[in-house]
Amino acid sequence: MDNVQNIKQRFGIIGNDPQLNFALAKAIRVAPTEISVLITGESGVGKEAFPRIIHQLSNRKHGKFIAVNCGAIPEGTIDSELFGHEKGAFTGATQTRSGYFEVAHGGTIFLDEVGELPLSTQVRLLRVLENGEFLKVGSSKVQQTDVRVVAATNVKMIEAIQKGKFREDLYYRLSTVEINLPPLRARKDDIHLLFRKFAADFAQKYQMPTVRLDEQAQSVLEQQPWGGNIRQLRNIAEQLSVLEQERNINTTILRQYLPATNANLPAIIDSKDSGGDFGSEREILYKVLFDMKSDLNDLKKLTNELMNASNMEHAKEQHEGLIQKIYGDDAASSDSKLELPQPPTKNTEREPYTDQFDYAEEVEEAETLSLQDKELELIVKALERNNGRRKVAASELGISERTLYRKIKQFNLDL
C-alpha cells in the first residue's frame, strides 16, 4: 500500500503536520473498502483533495468520479440533479434526465457541503446509502445504483442535528469513517512551506521571479489567524507575486496584504434595535410619558410638603433640588417670583386633611389629562403615518386593532 509521503508527492499535498499525516493515513486505509467517508474541517483547509485520493486508491478508480457542490444547487432542483427526473415531472422538464447517482454507477460521488442539503433530499440520500435505491423525480419506478459516497462539510454537524437541520441517522450513515482536517493556524510549521509552493507556482504561471519572505515576514505570516485557511494564504501569495515589483518581501510590504488583526471578531448586534425605527420611536415616547408621570408625582410630593409646612422658607430650602427640577431657571431668577401654594390658615372652614386631599385629586386629574393628550397625539400620528390603516397603526403602537378602534371612538377622531 502507498505510504503517506508517496501520496503527498502524487497528489501535491504540502506539509508535515502530524494531524495532516494522520488524516492522510486514515484516508489510505479506508480507500480500498466500500465504507462511506465524511470529511470535516473549516472552509479552505483542502477537503476537496481527499475524495480524489480515496477514489484513486479504491477499486473504483476506473469508474467515474463526480464532485457535487450541494450548497451551490437551488433547493428546488437538487433532487433532479442528484437523482434525475422524468419528462413532464415539472415545468421545464421537456425530456427525461439522468441524475448523478445514475451516471456515476460503479464510481464515486463526492458531496461537498453536504450539510446544506434540504431535509427532503436527505431522506432520498439515506435510502441510497442504505440499499442503493432511488426514485427519479416524477417517477414511481425504483432504480438501483452502485455508488460510493464521500461527503464533506464545514458545518458543525452535531449542532445542525440539535437544531433540526440535519438528520441524525443520515449523519451516522455518512460518517462511518470521519476524517477531520486541521485548520491552517494549527499547522504553523507548514505555513511557509505552502507559501513557497504557491509563490513558485505563480512565478511559473506569470513568468516572473519568485517572491521570497525574509525571516521576520515568515514569523508574521505564521502568527496570522488564517480564517480562510489555505485558500486565503494562496490568494496572498498570488497578490504579492503579481502586484509587487520587489521580490524580497519584508514585514512592511507583507502587512499591506494581510487583514487587520480584529477582522475576524464577531459583530455585536444590539437586540433592542432589531425592531426598526418604529420600535425605537415608540420606546422613546413611552419613556417621555413615564418621565412626565414621575415629574408630576414629584410635584404632588412638593405641594403636599409645602401645604403641611409651618415654615415656608425652611420647606423651600429643604426641597431646593426638587423645586429646581420642576421649575428650572424660573426658580433661580431674581426677577421672577416663584408662586408656591400657601398652607391653609387656621380659620379655614375646611379641615387641612380635606383640603390636601382635594388638591391631590386636582393634580391627579391634571396628570390623567396630560397622559390622555399624549395618547391621543400618538394615535393620530400613527394613523396619519400609515394613511389611516388601523391594523398597521395598531401594530406600530403595540396595541390590538380592537383597542385602537375603541380609542378612536373614545376620542371622537374624525378619520
Mean pLDDT computed over every residue of the chain: 82
CA dist., res. 116 & res. 338, Å (int): 73
DSSP string of 11-49, one letter each residue: HT-----HHHHHHHHHHHHHTTS---EEEE--TTS-TTH
Specify whether the CB–CB gap between 81 and 73 falls below 8 A. yes
**Percent of the chain residues topping a pLDDT of 70:** 75
CA dist., res. 370 & res. 40, Å (int): 64
Band the pLDDT of 103: cuts 50, 70, 90.
very high
> Tell me: the pLDDT tens digits for 131-164?
999 999 999 999 999 999 999 999 999 999 999 9
Residue 277 pLDDT exceeds 70: no
Structural domains in the chain plus CATH codes: 4-182 (3.40.50.300), 185-255 (1.10.8.60), 275-410 (no CATH)
Inter-helix orientation angle 49-56/18-30, to 10°? 40
Residue 411 pLDDT exceeds 60: yes
3-state class (DSSP) for residue 216? helix
Paired strand residues for 405: none
CA dist., res. 211 & res. 199, Å (int): 6
pLDDT reported for residue 392? 80
Residue type, 26: K
CA dist., res. 400 & res. 314, Å (int): 51
Residue 388 pLDDT exceeds 50: yes
Band the pLDDT of 402: cuts 50, 70, 90.
confident
- Say what the pTM is: 0.62
Q: Return the DSSP state at 342.
A: P
pLDDT reported for residue 144? 95
Residue predicted with more confidence, 382 or 98: 98
pLDDT reported for residue 323? 65
Specify whether the CB–CB gap between 106 and 64 falls below 8 A. yes
Nearest CA to 148 out of 83, 97, 101 is that of: 101
Q: Return the DSSP state at 70.
A: G
Residue 355 pLDDT exceeds 50: no
Residue predicted with more confidence, 289 or 338: 289
CA dist., res. 341 & res. 360, Å (int): 12
Residue 400 pLDDT exceeds 90: no
> Tell me: the pLDDT tens digits for 300-327?
776 766 666 655 666 666 666 666 655 5
SS (H, E, C) 246-271: CCEECHHHHHCCCCCCCCCCCCCCCH
Residue 255 pLDDT exceeds 60: yes
CA dist., res. 117 & res. 78, Å (int): 8
131-135 own/partner pairs: CB under 8 Å, 24+ apart:
134/83, 134/99, 134/101, 134/102, 135/83
Nearest CA to 127 out of 114, 117, 142 is that of: 142
